[in-house]
Structure 1
Amino acid sequence: MPRLTSASGNVRAFLDMLAWSEIGPGLLEHSDAGYDVLVGSTPRVPLLFTSYATHPNIYNRRTNSTAAGRYQILARYWPHYRELLKLPDFGPVSQDLYAIQQLRERKALPLIESGHITAAIAMVSNIWASLPGAGYGQHEHEVKNLLAVYKAAGGDVA
């Protein structure tokens, strides 16, 4: 579950769906709900960071990425959003606020609030490589599976 308790049920369910898509259920269970996961992690070989003071900015040569956290945030974007949102650290609530800002900027929040989840996924697929249509050459989940996770997390679909 997201740590940001002020978000609506649909937004929280969407964040859970994103984390499931990006991190996977095995890593979500064997980490701090994904908040401390580095890109390239697997349930057998979890790569975790230990400090939420700031984005860990650890480069994974195998994946050519610095993605970290529950929503696999790239280090190059973190400073801008940390300043924009006045985030104190890279902790769970800060990561949730970052992801919600991404949803807001792509104009997906109204779609999520109204339960138009397939349309919202399409609006943000260029941000998260695991979403259908992302086109980053990584595994992309099917919409039906994402919707099942979203509903299981308590989200409503229109």
Structure 2
Amino acid sequence: MARLSESLAGGRNALAFLDMLAWGEGTSTSPATAMDGYDVIVTGIDRKPEVFKDFTDHPFAKGRASKVINSKGLTSNASGRYQQMLKDWPHYKALLKLPDFSPISQDMLALQHIRECRALPDVLAGRIETAIAKCRNIWASLPGAGYGQREHRLEDLLKQYRLAGGAMS
């Protein structure tokens, strides 16, 4: 469950959308997580789940090499509950004045991505299909993302959203 308060997130629908994203990215259901996905590092080509314990910064911020994630040599440093990329971290850390890569900071960053996709009003109003479509360029697990990774069916995402307490309009 998202750690941000309902009031800071903007409502129950925002928290449910975050929970749906974590399910979609596979972090909240990872067999390795001890923190509902907040501690998950992208799985590499070796298929070994990995977690991190130091939340002072993005796990790859100190120069760790990105992980090879497929046979074509594609690499990734996606980390945390919403699989945030290192390339985005310095900008958002400064913009949002995030003190660390803690669960609250990860929630704030994910909400900022949703806001920048102009999907937050849709999330808050329960227009989840529209919000998913607007956010698919950020999260590879959303239908139509086109990253060549596993994309979830819209019906499954909507089910997870409702299970997390979200309301549809």
Name the TM tier (shorter chain): over 0.9
Which of 33, 38, 47 lines up with 2:36 in the alignment? 33
Q: Distance in 2 between matches of 1:12 and 1:29?
A: 23
The residue that corresponds to 1:2 in the other structure is 2
Deviations 1:19-39 (A, max 9, x none): 000025531784311001000
Q: Structure 1 residue 103 and structure 2 residue 110: aligned?
A: no
In structure 1, which of residues 130, 133, 146 is the aligned counterpart of residue 141 of structure 2? 130
Deviations 1:60-112 (A, max 9, x none): 12351000000000001000000000000000000000000001111101001
Unaligned segments of structure 2, at least 5 residues: none
The structure whose residues are more often strand, as a share, is 2
The answer to whether the 8 Å contact 1:20/1:28 transfers is: no
Q: Are 1:155 and 2:156 an aligned pair? A: no
Q: Could you state the TM-score of these two structures normalised by the residue count of structure 2?
A: 0.88
Whether contact under 8 Å (1:28, 1:34) holds in the other structure is no
The sequence identity of aligned pairs, in percent, is 50
Q: How many residues align?
A: 157
2:14 is aligned to 11
Q: What one-letter code is carried by the residue in structure 1 that aligns with 2:77?
A: T
Q: How does 1:8-157 map to 2 (within 5 A)?
A: 8-24=11-27, 26-27=29-30, 30-40=33-43, 45-57=48-60, 58=64, 59-63=66-70, 64-157=75-168
- TM-score, length-normalised on structure 1? 0.94
Structure 1 residues 148 and 29, CA gap change in structure 2 (3 angstroms):
farther
Change (3 A) 1:55 1:19: same
1:76 aligns to what SS in structure 2? helix
Structure 1 window deviating more from structure 2 (146-155 vs 28-37): it is: 28-37
Aligned residues: CA RMSD? 1.8
DSSP 3-state at the match of 1:123:
helix
